[in-house]
Structure 1
Amino acid sequence: MDTSSAPGRSGHWFLSQDTDSARLPVALLSGFLGSGKTTLVNTLLRDPRMAGTAVAVNEFGEVPLDRDLIAHDRDHTVVMANGCLCCNLAGDMEDAVMRLFSRRQSGGLPAFERLLIEPSGLSDPAPIAQAILRNPLLARSMRLEAIVCTVDALFAATQLARHPETRKQVALADTLVLTKTDLAAPEVVRRLRADLAGLNPAAPVLTAVQGEVDAAALFPPRFLDRTATAPDTAPRSFLAADEADAGHTARYASASLLAESPLDWRAFEAWLRRIRIAHAENLLRVKGLLNVAGGPVVVQGVHHVISAPVRLDTWPSIDMRSRLVLIADRATIEAARESWAEALPGLLARP
């Protein structure tokens, strides 16, 4: 029997919590060129709580300068070159991570507790996230805990207007980190915060002070401590995104879809499949903590790619309602809300 998964009480197959806890926690650190990603990585790696972190760097250009700029154990650093194209980015990342795990298992590298991936500033982080969720070998060994995006307070307004990659990086993030705010006028920072809220109304915005941000504020608890007893099943930005909205001019919106009674997994899965097929390109993020047959089940996805569901042993809070949070363009959010309201009676488990 494959012990990587266990049957749920509903008769369907889910990853067990023990299997999920054994997977390596992974965070993506995106952000446009010059936005301070490498500076943030360096400050994070000086934090004792980040000891044992492996770093995968994806850079644009022939000379791997960022590897020299990251003051970390070079044996823990994997450099992925020429990752400016999304199709190459995901494949290169998969190869690099496989090499990293192979060297770790063979004893060529010390054991590491988590993986921090820094893609190129010209990259869309979605293919990397999708690879972690979709690739059977990666999904078996790793769990995506967070997507963080650095935003340059001086130049972000121009970058957001000119570069779709920057808008995508912001929209996909669980948490945004403003850098260089000490160099930008207060009014510029205020307008930028409004722009960011329009692109990603669910994401909290942190401010880096001389490149430093508290790791505990930046990452979920299970990224810093993979054995955390109270699983942080969804980024705080998602569970706090209850109908978050930045006004009618916002490019993206989020919605929290609720169910008071337990769901039938097969019916829910079919509903989510219909939403994914109809809105694959516009549905940026999916994150949910669902009540299936009375037990908590975690789901997450990027675009049309959904990871294997994970059944938890216990509820992380006393709230046992099903909560599914979506981030997408406004038209997709409205369509999903209407579809959920119409389909919900048929999604509930029979007594």
Structure 2
Amino acid sequence: MTASGDPIPLILLTGFLGSGKTTLLNALLRDPAMTGTAVLINEVGEIGIDHSLVVGASDEILLLEGGCLCCQPKGGVAEGISRLLDLPAPPSRIVIETSGAANPVPILETISQHPLAAKAFQFPCVVTVVDCLFGRSTLQNHIEARFQVSAADILVLGKADIASQEDRLAIENIIKKENATGKSVDAKFEMLPNGFIELLKEGTQASAARVLPELEDGGVHGETEFVTAGASFHGRLTAEAVQRWLDRVLESYGGNILRIKGILQLEEFDQPAILQSVRDIVHPLQLLNQQTQETDRNSIVAIGWDMHPELLQEEIDNLVDQASGNTGQS
């Protein structure tokens, strides 16, 4: 419970791979109204990176490992919530950021069965980030994305400021068919949508009355075959070598590569550099202000679909081999 004795608000932040969940989370945590927030982060794959990219006002960040929360035994998310509730000073609210491949429905069902549900914390307000640039193809090809939209109390239209009017209208039409009651808001890069904090409060109050979408035949992921590959390794790379590697991977596998993200030690910079790509769009390198890992350690993850995981891991290993002073993965 909060200091006032009320149940702690819970926010389930979801959205497909590369939609902008962590960017929204960072903007949210920078808002003074979110002081005292604790965060649970779940990532697909064995190498965790997103928790290192979260900055701002969070008092507690826990990384939930072991694959998508929707596929985990029920102890995963429940244990994470329990750990936060047991802190000497309980958080004022909890944000759970799911992996981009997660179906939120089983997660919501698990949370609702927690022994302290409704007493210590509220039923989650589901916030789904929808990528206006790639949303149409994502919603057509991945049932997980459709479950994310249909379960939402609030739909954040990410990259709305750089998407075409045609793409924006198409996304709005799809959302209306999948979720007629969710509230949609636009998001600009690294900025909270107008009135978003107030909308969160309203969404938390209304979320318990929502009817969850039904899973067909108990399915979680549909037919999507996600594959992940990653490495954590020592040494330093050059920006040119990373760019050549990235160009080759995207040229070779095209639309099968959904997401690449990494924290890399580059010869050109004193601080770690953040590498991010969504499909074939590569974001400019950004420097990581806080030091969240060893000064010579690199971490990188690639997520693809409908491809052999060995091929993806081989590409990651090729990058690892180019690191100067590398003493092997660890």
Task: Answer whether TM exceeds 0.5 for this pair.
Answer: yes
- Deviation digits for residues 197-223 of structure 1, max 9, x if unmatched? 111011111000223224324402596
Change in Cα spacing, 1:139 to 1:87, as seen in structure 2 (3 Å) is: farther
Deviation at residue 57 of structure 1 after TM alignment: 0.5
- Deviation digits for residues 175-197 of structure 1, max 9, x if unmatched? 10001122221111111110111
Paired letter, 2:36 = G
Equivalent residue number for residue 29 of structure 2? 45
Paired letter, 1:166 = A
Equivalent residue number for residue 158 of structure 1? 137
Change in Cα spacing, 1:88 to 1:151, as seen in structure 2 (3 Å) is: same
- Deviation digits for residues 3-47 of structure 1, max 9, x if unmatched? x9xxxxxxxxxxxxx9x9622110101100100000000001111
- Deviation digits for residues 26-80 of structure 1, max 9, x if unmatched? 0101100100000000001111111110111011121210110001467600101
Change in Cα spacing, 1:156 to 1:196, as seen in structure 2 (3 Å) is: same
Residues 14 and 98 in structure 2, CA contact (< 8 A), matched pair in contact too: yes
Paired letter, 1:220 = K
Change in Cα spacing, 1:73 to 1:90, as seen in structure 2 (3 Å) is: farther
Would you say 1:91 and 2:63 are equivalent positions? Answer: no
Decide which of 181, 185, 210 is 1:206's aligned counterpart.
185
Structure with the larger helix share: 1
Would you say 1:171 and 2:150 are equivalent positions? Answer: yes
Residues 26 and 142 in structure 1, CA contact (< 8 A), matched pair in contact too: yes
Equivalent residue number for residue 40 of structure 2? 56
Equivalent residue number for residue 216 of structure 1? 197
Deviation at residue 154 of structure 1 after TM alignment: 0.6
Q: How much identity, in percent, do the aligned residues show?
A: 35
Partners of 1:85 and 1:124 in 2: how far apart?
8
Change in Cα spacing, 1:74 to 1:61, as seen in structure 2 (3 Å) is: farther
Change in Cα spacing, 1:135 to 1:165, as seen in structure 2 (3 Å) is: same
Partners of 1:236 and 1:74 in 2: how far apart?
25
SS at match of 1:141: coil
Equivalent residue number for residue 249 of structure 2? none
5+ unaligned residues in a row in structure 2: which ranges? Answer: 217-330
Residues 150 and 178 in structure 1, CA contact (< 8 A), matched pair in contact too: yes
Deviation at residue 138 of structure 1 after TM alignment: 4.0
Change in Cα spacing, 1:53 to 1:188, as seen in structure 2 (3 Å) is: same
Q: TM-score, normalised by structure 1?
A: 0.55
Change in Cα spacing, 1:77 to 1:193, as seen in structure 2 (3 Å) is: same
SS at match of 2:46: coil
5+ unaligned residues in a row in structure 1: which ranges? Answer: 5-17, 224-232, 239-253, 255-275, 283-351
Change in Cα spacing, 1:161 to 1:90, as seen in structure 2 (3 Å) is: farther
Between the two proteins, the alignment pairs up a number of residues equal to 213
Decide which of 62, 68, 73 is 2:52's aligned counterpart.
68
Partners of 2:67 and 2:84 in 1: how far apart?
18
Would you say 1:81 and 2:96 are equivalent positions? Answer: no
Partners of 1:237 and 1:192 in 2: how far apart?
25
Would you say 1:26 and 2:10 are equivalent positions? Answer: yes
Change in Cα spacing, 1:217 to 1:141, as seen in structure 2 (3 Å) is: closer
RMSD of aligned Cα (Å): 3.0
SS at match of 1:220: helix
Equivalent residue number for residue 106 of structure 2? 127
